[in-house]
Amino acid sequence: MTIEHDEFEGIRLSIVNMDDKKSVELTRQAMKTHAAGEILNKALIPAMEAVGDDYEQGRKFIPEMLLAAEAMNAALALLKPELTRSDVKKAGRVVMGTVEGDVHDIGQRMVCIMLEGAGFEVHSLGADVPTLEFVKAVKDMSPDILGMSALLTTTAPRMKGVIESLRKEGLRDRVKVMVGGAILNQKLADEYGADGYAPDAASAARLAKTLLDNPGA
Ligand code: B12
C-alpha cells in the first residue's frame, strides 16, 4: 500500500470507527499534502458509503451511524474553508434543504460546500424542512435555484409537493429546481417536475451552472 493510500484509508477507518478526534487529526495531516476536494472524494465519501454498507449488513445501528456522521462532519468542517474559497463573482443564489420528515443532511451539506466553491451564494434551510418553509424561502430570498435533498423513499415525493406549491403560488417560473439524494434518479426528478437531477456534489455544482446558463432548459 502506498503512503497516499494509507492516509486516505486512515481517515476512512476513523470515520467508520466513529472516532472524531482521529478523523480531525488525520484530515489535518492529509491537508498538508492533498487538496481538500481529493480528501473529500477519496476518504470522506467512501467512508460514509462503508457506513451505509455496515448498516445494511446489520453490522451498525442508528446510534453508530450518528456517531460516524459526527466524525465525518468534524473532518468536513476542516475541509470547508478550502472547498469554498472562491474569488469569482457570485454565480447565483441557491436555497437548499432536505425535505420534511427526513433528517439526512450530510450529502446536502456537501452539495452546499461544492456550490459555494463554484461561486454560488448558498442558504441552507437544514433538514426536515416543511413545504411551506421552502415556498417562503423562495418568496423572501428570490434564489436562482432551489435545491432539495431526500434519502428516504417515503419522503422523496414531498419534492413534488413543494414544486406544486411553488406553481400554485405563482413562483415556479422564477426559480430552477434541482433535486438529489441517494434514492433519487433522473426518472423520479422528471416525474416530480424538477429542472435537474445530479447524483453527487461535484455534478450538482456543474448542474447548477448549466441550469443558469440555459434558462430556457
Ligand atoms: C448516515 C445515515 C443516517 C443518519 C443521518 C445523519 C445525518 N445527519 O445525515 C441517521 C442515523 C440519523 C439516519 C436515520 C435514518 N435512516 Co439513514 N442512512 C444513513 C446512511 C448510512 C448514509 C447517508 C449519507 O450520509 N450518505 C453520504 C452522503 C455523502 O451521500 P448522499 O446523502 O447520497 O448525498 C450525495 C448525493 O446523493 C448527492 N445529493 C444529496 N443531496 C442532494 C441534493 C441535490 C439538490 C443534489 C443535486 C444532489 C444531492 O450529493 C451528495 C454528495 O455526493 C444511509 C445509507 C446509504 N447508503 O445512503 C442510510 C439510509 C439513507 N437511511 C435509511 C433509513 C431507513 C433511515 C431511518 C428511517 C432508520 C430508522 N429505522 O429510524 C432513519 C430516518 C430518520 C429520518 N426521519 O430521516 C435508509 C433509507 C431507505 C429508503 N429507501 O428509504 C438508508 C438507505 C439505509 C438503508 N439501506 O436502509 N440515517
From the list 91, 70, 47, the residue with the least C-alpha distance to 204 is: 91
- Domains annotated for the chain, with CATH where assigned, are 3-84 (1.10.1240.10), 92-213 (3.40.50.280)
Distance between Cα 14 and ligand 1 center (Å) = 19
Q: What is the mean pLDDT of residues 50-56?
A: 85
Q: What is the pLDDT of residues 144-188, one digit of tens each?
A: 999 999 999 999 999 999 999 999 999 999 999 999 999 999 999
Q: Is 196 in the pocket of ligand 1 (CB under 6 A)?
A: no
Residue type, position 142, single letter:
S
Which atom of ligand 1 is nearest the CA belonging to 73? 8
CB within 8 A of 214, min separation 6: which ones?
none
- Pairing assessment for the beta strands 120-124 and 145-149 based on DSSP bridges: unpaired
Which amino acid residue places its CA nearest to atom 17 of ligand 1?
A: 104
Residue nearest to atom 35 of ligand 1 (CA): 107
Cβ burial of 196 (10 Å; 0-12, 13-18, 19+) is buried
Cell numbers standing for residue 45: 465519501
Q: How far apart are CA 102 and CA 162, in angstroms?
A: 14
φ, ψ for residue 196, nearest 5 deg: -165, 160
Taking only the tens place, the pLDDT of each residue in 4-46 is: 568 899 999 999 999 999 999 999 999 999 999 889 889 988 8
Rounded CA-CA distance 73/87 in Å is: 25
Determine the pLDDT at residue 1. Answer: 40
* Mean pLDDT score, 122-135: 97
Return the pLDDT at 2: 44
The span from the CA of 86 to the CA of 105, in Å, is 23
**Ligand 1 centroid to residue 188 C-alpha, Å:** 17
Maximum Cα–Cα distance across the chain = 57
Does residue 151's CB lie within 6 angstroms of at least one atom of ligand 1?
A: yes
